Amino acid sequence: MSDSVFRKKSVVKAIADVGEGHSSHMNKVLGVRDLTSFGIAAIIGAGIFSTIGRASVNGGPAVSLLFVFTAIACVFTALSYAQFASTVPVSGSAYTYAYVSFGEIFAWIIGWALILEYAVSNMVVAISWSEYFTSMLEGFGIHFPSYWATDYGSAAKAYALVQASATPASLPENTRELAQAFQDAPALGSLKFIADLPAGFVTVLITALVYVGIKESRAASNLLVVLKLAVIGLVIAAGAFYVKPANWSPFAPNGVAGVLSGVASVFFAFIGFDSISTTAEECKNPQRDLPRAMIYCLIICTVLYVLITLVLTGMVNYKELGVDDPLAYVFQKVGLDAIAGVISVSAVVAITSALLVYQLGQPRIWMTMSRDGLLWPRFSKIHPRYRTPSFATIVTGFLVAIPSLFLDMQFFIDLTSVGTFFAFILVCAGILFLDAKGLSKHSKFKVPYINGKYIVGLALVVAMVLVLRAGGLLSGIQEKPLLAFFWLTWALFSVLSFRYNFSLLPVLGILTNLYLMTELGISNWAIFVVWLVIGLVIYFSYGYRKSKLAFETAS
């Protein structure tokens, strides 16, 4: 069995499979501008309109540096993605890249993790959309019942806090509003009926658009991105006049630990760039345009995130940003209600573009896995008229819409990052494999080669000296046991880099992503492991037997 689960697909085979069956009939209409637009749509979504505020509460203005650090980690990964995309221009993203590098079992694990990533990312975006939508309605004097615009758990928790508090008026306004929503909700006996209906509605709407076709999705995305960038430009330009440098002091009020506590929220903002690679089979020239688009959108979005963070934390005290609509909130705080209203209306439209891209990407992962025989054949069915993976798109709609009705945003933010980090690490490691096996010769774009023979080990020595002098090695490992694995991995790559002249940038991608993983809570890992176990049960009960590679090996 060990030989079977590690069976690999060749680069030539992966490309040839695209031309087989109905999947070869997908419309090839996307150029570099469209792909860059998709990337910006995915990266600048709920992250900049919502989760940026949550990250700033603990990290203060220094969260802007966390965006830079996270972006650097993503640059290393994006370069690796870009090389793979130019080598294997197939819709499977990291799933396909793992298939040609490490074998079927790793491909399945990554594909299964990507399904989780895209699904929960869209749930966060849908919930954020709901917050701005109801806020926009309030601005027009329309009150949407709060119990139909939140999740049961948050409302019940808030109600319990209010009931337990001796001075409910001292609790945050948001907590009191949620408690009131719980109290006002219709009930059947002791069971309260509470659901986030706008989140479910917008998911169904976007799923219908994605189902209809890539041309329509492209047009909608390009239009929404233009609007989104205009709003962000307005925020930066207008907000700059209301920045008070005193709000930037202290710059890192809770130190490095406070800044890094926002890793899940900040990293969530960047994961969208890999969604570009899921559209490879609908690109005019994927081997040229995919790498360019990944780098372009990452650079543009990093600059915008840093500027937005500095403006927000400069306009108000960082402690006030723990809201779901921070951009609108800061302008209301300084008395610019008109701009706050424009932001709320625009955010409803702009966040929709992020929802569209994620909802576009996930069905194409399922389609590719199905085409390889690892999922049921219906997932690779292409609609005869719309040229989209129709069944996979419908399933994706249900998978996102139903949980978004009932679960909390923070739960999804934390859960998203675990699988994404894991996928990013394997993609970076895959470049080392391509180099070692001489497969990089197929790549039209290559990660710039910098010999890591001495640099990786020297950097480890310097880092260890600094940590030991600060006295934080043992205490850090005790607090976060995964740090021990991080240091051991770095030591291993120091040896391997010295022996095999590993390319430095993919190694840095592996190490930075692995370090960011250590900042995630144990609950995230527990849920991810449960999801992984479910996936392995499906693989060994179906995919392992039905894999097309299994039949080819047998014949």
Per-residue pLDDT tens over the stretch 492-513: 999 999 999 999 999 999 998 8
d(CA 250, CA 256): 12
Q: Pick the closest to residue 418 from 271, 539, 540 (CA basis).
A: 271
Between 169 and 265, the more confident residue is: 169
Q: 169 burial class (0-12, 13-18, 19+ CB within 10 angstroms)? A: exposed
Please report, rounded to a whole number, the percentage of residues in the chain having pLDDT higher than 90: 12
pLDDT of 49 over the 50 cut: yes
Q: Lowest-pLDDT range, 132-141, 203-212, 289-298, 372-381?
A: 132-141
Tens of pLDDT, residues 158-185: 888 888 887 877 777 778 888 888 888 9
Which token pair is 524? 């995230």
487 pLDDT more than 80:
yes
So what's the pLDDT on residue 324? 63
Burial 311-332, CB ≥16 within 10 A → b, else e: bbbbbbebebbbbbbbbbbbbb
Across 514-525, average pLDDT? 76
Which residues have C-beta within 8 Å of that of residue 190, sequence separation ≥ 6? none
Which burial class, exposed, middle or buried, applies to 552 when counting CB atoms under 10 A from its CB (0-12, 13-18, 19+)? exposed
Question: What is the pTM (predicted TM-score) of this model?
Answer: 0.79
Contacts of 415 (CB under 8 A, 6+ apart): 116, 120, 524, 527, 528
Output the pLDDT for position 553. 58
Name the band, by pLDDT with cuts 50, 70 and 90, for residue 213: low
Per DSSP bridges, beta strands 191-192 and 187-188 are antiparallel
pLDDT at 393 over 60: yes
Query: What digits encode the pLDDT tens for the residues 181-204?
Result: 888 899 888 888 899 999 999 999
Instruction: State the CATH class of domain 27-139+200-437.
Output: mainly alpha
Provide the CA 471 distance to its chain's centre, in angstroms.
Answer: 34
- Residue boundaries of the structural domains of the chain: 27-139+200-437, 152-194
> At residue 24, does pLDDT exceed 50?
no
pLDDT > 90? residue 488: yes
Per-residue pLDDT tens digits for 318-357: 877 776 677 777 887 887 777 777 777 777 777 777 777 7
| pLDDT value at 3 more than 60 | no
What residues contact 171, with CB distance under 8 A and at least 6 apart? 161, 162, 165
